[in-house]
Structure 1
């Protein structure tokens, strides 16, 4: 909300009131009108804040705030009921590590050669999830083969967020 028209209106009214007086009084009134501008702006902003607080107490589930943007106040109303309705769901818990192999199921060894940069990323990802590199690789391969991995990659290093195939929510 631009405050300049209101400040200009007060300045004009003050100068109009001083027009009937002598030249030195008119000059003093003009100087005074410029000197009180910061105080007037602050007083208006305080009044807007008080009004927003009073409106908030009278409206159930609605919050009205006054925020400053570029030196000018801005009113923001938010409906807590809508916020709760459209809130993003909690991200799903990370998948559990794969179950250990059955006792009668043997394990086999495989030799895997990775570029150093990829190896470092695998080690980082495993450490972040509290798994060994081997456990992390087993889980990643199992999920890929079982079709459970439907996440998306976000960020330069690719942080995996498993959102499934459907994204819902509300953004401002």
Structure 2
């Protein structure tokens, strides 16, 4: 994006406004405007960079970058790679007896945000998405321990935040 036409337009408008002044004032205005051109260019670049940062913060994923190329700005849109659509999981469970159980699930905020993004991409609420993920995990023919072990890293919360405690219950499998 070439900022020069915008800066020149501003300079012309301000010079036109100074036309009613004395000749010395007009000359001083022109000299001042040429001296201010770099500051105006920098202010425009800053405003555009802030706009790109705000757009990026509102995007679910990816980013908008502003790069300086000589005296021009280049915009770079970075999107995550397209995901291969996975087969949709059935919404009905044939083993379902009709009763519902409530659980409380605590997870790091960053993990929750990622789960919400995945749920939104699949067109589901977070709750439905979690139910389908658990349903797929419990229906799979994986051997015990076939799923990724959340305790393998030593921290069930995925970070290195010191000693953390995890509580809950495990239903033993039948021998």
Q: TM-score, normalised by structure 2?
A: 0.46
Q: Looking at secondary structure, tell me which structure has more strand per residue.
A: 1
